[in-house]
Structures are given as structure tokens and as C-alpha cells.
Amino acid sequence: MSGTSPRRRGLPLTWRVAVLAGAATALLAGLTLIVSYAIVRNGMYEDLRRSLREDAAALAAVYATGEGSAGGSLSGPTGGVVLQVYGPGAQLLAASRPEWETAQAAIPPDVVMGAGLVPTPWSGVLLGRPVEAALAPFAVGVVAVLADPSYIEETLATLSRTLLLVAAALVVLSLLVGYLVAAASLRPVTLLARRVSRLDPDRLEPLEYDGPRDEVARLAETVNELLRRLAQARDAQRTFLAETSHELRTPLTSLRGFLDRAARLAGPAAAEDLDDARRVTATMARLVEDLLMLSRGELVREFSPHLVDLLQDVARPVAAEFPGVRVEGSGVLVLGDPMRLRQLVRNLLANAVRAAATPQGVQVRVGAGDDRAAVLEVEDDGPGIPPEMQERIFEKFYKGAGGGSGLGLAIARQVAKHHDGTLTVESRPGRTVFTLRLPAVQEEEEELEAQA
């Protein structure tokens, strides 16, 4: 069982890059909006104040000389400026509009007094509305030019809405462009991942990469180096297993010969024990052969097909080797190698007996299933197999909590596969069921076999 915790699912890397690009664009768009708003606002207010200063200076010159027309000299950007004239004591004397001649419309006296010495800008609220003003002195008082800057705020509001729409469009566009750019940039990594996914322990071929010498090239080199070391370790393991299996074959063959001779020389009292010993030796010899074939990366595919009754020819004889195991069901014919099928069931029962509390907790059921299939189930009442281990137990040399060689279930699944069948497992605490499904022989096939 792996010690690493399962990773949570998240967005694919391509979309993460696109989202990051969108977030960066949104941030830049927000900063651009703020800076643009500030620049435009300051520029518009500065233009208005400059125009008011020019108008105030022009009016002061008119009143100082008494020549020209005050109204014709105005150049305010709105065309709706208001003129006010203050006397030497900062009192409001006259205005270009009647409502601006009241005391509530007068600029504070201290500002007017200061403007009597030097031209002065002023911002404030008069008659309940914001006002921008420029004051300029002349011979007998101060002239003031006032303007309502609300048009600036309206223009800025329109500009802000426009900029927000443009920023939103840029963010959406950046998501699309970011996705396309990320997909194009990550395509070499995707191709490498696809090639790696096609590898298996028996085919650890180096990855081909003909791109530039960049980070992806270094990744491909690192993976190829890892594959090379894995292939070396695999070959060393196979060599060891092959040599070990080969060395075991000779003493097992000799042992079988000694047991055969002892069976011929011994009396009836020892015959049963010797038969058991010969059967165990045959099983060990077959296990060594399987270990040898697995070390070479394959299981024997050639087998002698027979009409086999899955209940009488396979389940019951194998279950008799495990006292206490219960067998039930009905006979169903399959076409297969009886030795291999017994080996499959023997491996399943050995695994179940190890997992169950007692052999009585193991049961074998045989019968016909759906889709014209023969079904053999081996059930035990053991502690169960965790979900994350239920596929790994069929891997070669994988040992679960129950121990064993790590070969039994791998061999069982390969035997099922070579009989065009399947071997699956369902498990929970207190109940584990291994299900073997094989193509059943139909009546037409039985008749043809009988005629042959």
C-alpha cells in the first residue's frame, strides 16, 4: 500500500496557465484603468483650471483698462462660466448671473483677500454644487471666474465604463490566447506523457524527442535515463529468477523420481502419503516452471484443450486439497486445459484460505452465468482487500497483507486470459469474492466434439 496520500483533482495544467494569464491580464487591466483614470482626471481638471486662470487674467486686464468686452474674452471650456467682482474689502459686488450675487454664492473672504495680492485658484462648494474658480486682482478689487466641473465627473464615469468593458474583453481574450499559447507550449510534454503511458514493464523503450534543447529535452533525457535503469533492474531480476528457477528444476525432478520409486517399493500403508507428496512435488515443479516463464515475461500459452466440467473436473478435486472448503453448484462445460484451470483455482483457494479465519469460511460456487458464460466464484470471510489494492494484487510479485509469493494471482489472471476469460475481485470487510468467467461450451459445440 502506497504511503503517499491521493492527490486532489484540479484544473489541467493548460487551463491553469490560461487562468494565470487571465489573472495577470486582469491585474494589468485594473492598474491601467486606475492610472488612466487618474491621468485623464488630473489632465481635465488641469485644463479647466488653466483656462479659468487665463480667463481671470483677461478679465482683470479688461477691468483695469476699461477697454474691451468682458463677455467676449472668456475662453472657458464649458462656455458656462460665472463672473464675480469683489470690492477691496472682499465683499461681493456683482455677478454675471443673479443667483450668484447672493452671500451664499460668495467665495470665502480670506481667499478673496489673498487673491488681492496674487492670482489664486480655489476649489470648493457654492450653492450646493462643486465649483472650480480662478481669482485675479485688478486696480479696485478682485475678479473671479467660476465653473462647474461636474461635466468632468460625467465624462470620467463614461470613460470608466468603457475601460471596464475593454478590460473585461481583454481578460476573456487573454484566457483564450493563454489557453492556445499554453496548449502549444505544453504539446511536447503532452506527447512525451502519451508515449510514457504506452510503456509497460516488458517494453521499456527510450522516448524519442527531436525538439530543441530546452526544458522538455532535459525532461526526456531524465525519463530515458530512468527507463534505462529500470530496464537494467528488470533484466537483472529476470536473470536471477531464471537462474534460480533453473537450479530448482533439477532437485525437484530428482525428488519426483525418488518419490515415484518409493511409491513402487512401499506398501499400501504409505501409498496415500506418497501420493500426497508426489502431488505437492508436482505443484512445486509447476510453480517453478511458472516462475521461470514469468521471469521471461510470459506464461506458457500453449495448452491442450479438453472438454472440462468446471465443477467435477476442477473445483471438487482442488477443493479436496483444502479440507473444510465448501463446494456447491452445477456442472458447466468449458474448453480448456484442466491442469491450468486447476492451477488457477488452486491459487485462488490458497489465497482465500490464508485470508479466511478458518477453511470453513471459504466457499466455491460453480454455475452458468449471463452471456453464455461459465462462472466460478471463490468467496472467503477474511478481512477484505482495500479498494486501492484490488487491482495491484494481480501484479507479479506484489504481496498483500496475507503474504504469499506474489505470483499466485498473477498466474491465475494470465491463465484466465489465455482461456479467453476474465478474473475479477470484489471485496469488503468480511467478504471477498474472486470471480472467474469463461466461455461456456454450448450444445452445438458438444455435438461437434462428440462427433470428432
The answer for residues whose C-beta is within 8 angstroms of residue 45's C-beta and 6 or more apart is: 132, 149, 152
Q: What is the DSSP string of 303-318?
A: ---EEEEIIIIIIHHH
pLDDT for 2: 42
Q: What is the mean pLDDT of residues 218-235?
A: 84
Is the Cα dihedral 212, 215, 220, 225 positive or negative?
positive
Dihedral-angle region of residue 372 (phi above 0 means left; psi in -120 to 50 means alpha; beta otherwise): left
Cell numbers that stand for 56 in this block: 481671470
Residue type present at position 330: S
Q: What is the pLDDT confidence band of residue 251, given thresholds at 50, 70 and 90? A: confident
As a whole number of Å, the end-to-end CA separation of the chain is 51
Q: Please give the mean pLDDT across all residues of the chain.
A: 81
pLDDT tens by residue, 393-427: 888 766 665 555 567 788 888 889 888 899 999 98
- pLDDT > 90: what percent of the chain? 24
pLDDT for 415: 87
Burial of 441: CB neighbours in 10 Å, binned 0-12, 13-18, 19+: buried
247 versus 397: the higher-pLDDT residue is 247
Q: What is the pairing mode between strands 82-86 and 92-95? A: antiparallel
Domains of the chain: 11-198 (3.30.450.20), 215-295 (1.10.287.130), 306-451 (3.30.565.10)
Q: What is the pLDDT confidence band of residue 5, given thresholds at 50, 70 and 90? A: very low
pLDDT tens by residue, 152-166: 888 888 888 888 888
pLDDT for 68: 43
> Nearest CA to 124 among 151, 104, 95, 142?
104
Q: What is the pairing mode between strands 326-329 and 141-147? A: unpaired
Residue type present at position 99: E
What is the Cα–Cα distance from 133 to 123, expressed in whole angstroms?
6
What is the Cα–Cα distance from 83 to 55, expressed in whole angstroms?
10
The answer for residues whose C-beta is within 8 angstroms of residue 153's C-beta and 6 or more apart is: none
pLDDT tens by residue, 302-336: 566 789 899 999 999 999 888 889 999 988 899 98
Q: What is the pairing mode between strands 333-336 and 306-309? A: antiparallel
Residue type present at position 294: L
257 versus 141: the higher-pLDDT residue is 141
Beta bridge partners of 84: 95, 144
pLDDT tens by residue, 338-356: 888 998 998 899 888 888 8
What is the Cα–Cα distance from 377 to 381, expressed in whole angstroms?
13
Q: What is the DSSP string of 352-398?
A: HHHHSSSGGGEEEEEEE-STTEEEEEEEE-SS---GGGTTGGGSTT-
- Percent of residues in the chain assigned helix, strand, coil, to nearest 5: 55, 20, 25
pLDDT for 168: 84
Residue 71 reports pLDDT greater than 50? no
pLDDT for 147: 92
226 versus 447: the higher-pLDDT residue is 226
CA atoms within 13 A on the CB side of 248: 17
189 versus 292: the higher-pLDDT residue is 189
Beta bridge partners of 126: 129
pLDDT for 414: 85
- State the pTM of this model: 0.46
Q: What is the pLDDT confidence band of residue 10, given thresholds at 50, 70 and 90? A: low
Q: Taking a C-beta distance cutoff of 8 angstroms, is the pair 77, 51 a contact? A: yes
The answer for residues whose C-beta is within 8 angstroms of residue 50's C-beta and 6 or more apart is: none
pLDDT for 78: 43
pLDDT for 224: 85
Beta strands in 40-128 (DSSP E): 82-86, 92-95, 120-126
Q: Taking a C-beta distance cutoff of 8 angstroms, is the pair 413, 393 a contact? A: no
What is the Cα–Cα distance from 121 to 35, expressed in whole angstroms?
25
pLDDT for 118: 92
pLDDT for 145: 94
Q: What is the pLDDT confidence band of residue 8, given thresholds at 50, 70 and 90? A: low
Q: What is the DSSP string of 148-216?
A: -THHHHHHHHHHHHHHHHHHHHHHHHHHHHHHHHHHHHHHHHHHHHHHHHT-BTTB-PPPP--S-SSHH
pLDDT for 272: 75
What is the Cα–Cα distance from 400 to 354, expressed in whole angstroms?
11
pLDDT tens by residue, 20-37: 877 888 888 888 888 888
